[in-house]
Amino acid sequence: MTHILIMVAQRLALGLLTLFAVSLIIFLGVELLPGDITQAILGQGATPETVAAFRRELKLDLPPHERYIAWLGGIVQGDLGQSLANKREITELMGVRLQNTLFLAFIAAVISIPLALGLGILAALYRNSLYDRAVNVFTLSSISFPEFFVAYILILVFAVHLGWFPSISNIGHELGFWERVYRTIMPALTLTLVVVAHMMRMTRAAIINLLASPYIEMATLKGLPRSRIIVRHALPNALAPIINVVVINLAYLIVGVVIVEVVFVYPGLGQLLIDAVRTRDIPVVQATGLVFAAAYILLNLSADVLSIMTNPRLLHPR
């Protein structure tokens, strides 16, 4: 347990250092954007005095390093600043959007993880069969298309021709749970088709790699059914790489939803980010990018910890 706690502390320190570096990259990237943000917000008809006063109000007259330190200090205290578009607190603005994005990622994970594990186990069980080849072709085809293409195909089939689901996933807290699930199915299916191939192929590869192990050969010689060998003996020992790829894909489900949310007009963080870029709401862009980075770093840390807990030999690499 002590080794695990030390490892978690080391990963947390590395994650905080990475998040600091990401915050610096986000701030510098915004600084390097062409044009004057105050001029873009006020319009071409603004007088130089008005532009100068607005720059002082936004503290853009301060040197970049002072603004970065002030921004970072606010983040440490839980203050992400105010939106330039509507003067609302960014934490309040992002609260509901973050819940919606997490809800979408949860529905997609509930569909994709059992599906990918089941397909991967069956592909390992019937290796090189027609089923194995068909599943590989289908999953690789789905992951080869960009998300917006998959989304529009699903809209055309399930919303336009069949009419089973709405093409716009407009949800709110006034809706019941199952109504929210119903309206979220289309973007969740899009994300499922994108991520299921990674998890399925990793499950298949990890199990097939273990099938050549001596203890698996001994179980085969004892006459155990192949399905029991895979589920009871191979799968538990293949959990480390499988958990790693599952959690990394969960990170993608959270941070990779921007295009999907825009296509389905889903009110999540991705849609908020695009709206902020459109209106040049720089504080919201910075805060959203930082939240996405923090979620990705945290889930990668979770993947490392869970992988090591399922395979303690990783604590003592040689």
CATH number of the CATH domain containing 167: 1.10.3720.10
> Is 87 inside any structural domain?
no
Average pLDDT, the chain: 78
Give the percent of the chain with pLDDT over 90.
Answer: 0
| Average of per-residue pLDDT across 25-43 | 71
Higher pLDDT, 116 or 213: 116
| Average of per-residue pLDDT across 240-251 | 75
Higher pLDDT, 306 or 101: 101
Rg, Å, the chain Cα set: 24
Look up the pTM and report it: 0.78
pLDDT at 266: 85
Domain that holds residue 270: 103-279
> Is 152 inside any structural domain?
yes
22-27 long-range CB contacts below 8 Å, 24 or more apart? Answer: 22/289, 22/290, 22/293, 22/297, 23/72, 23/75, 23/290, 23/293, 24/68, 26/286, 26/289, 26/290, 26/293, 27/64, 27/67, 27/68, 27/71, 27/286
- Local confidence band at 299 (pLDDT 50, 70, 90 cut-offs): confident
> Is 116 inside any structural domain?
yes
pLDDT at 43: 66
The answer to whether the beta carbons of residues 97 and 271 sit under 8 Å apart is yes
Q: How many CB atoms lie within 10 A of CB 119?
A: 23
The lowest-confidence range among 17-21, 22-26, 107-111, 257-261 is 257-261
pLDDT at 41: 66
> Is 41 inside any structural domain?
no
> Is 42 inside any structural domain?
no
Predicted confidence (pLDDT) at residue 102 exceeds the cutoff of 70: yes
What phi, psi does 25 have (nearest 5°)?
A: -65, -45
Higher pLDDT, 304 or 298: 298
The lowest-confidence range among 75-84, 204-213, 227-236 is 227-236
> Is 59 inside any structural domain?
no
> Is 165 inside any structural domain?
yes
> Is 115 inside any structural domain?
yes
- Total of domains in the chain: 1
**125 Cβ neighbours under 8 A, 6+ residues apart:** 226, 227, 230
Predicted confidence (pLDDT) at residue 39 exceeds the cutoff of 80: no
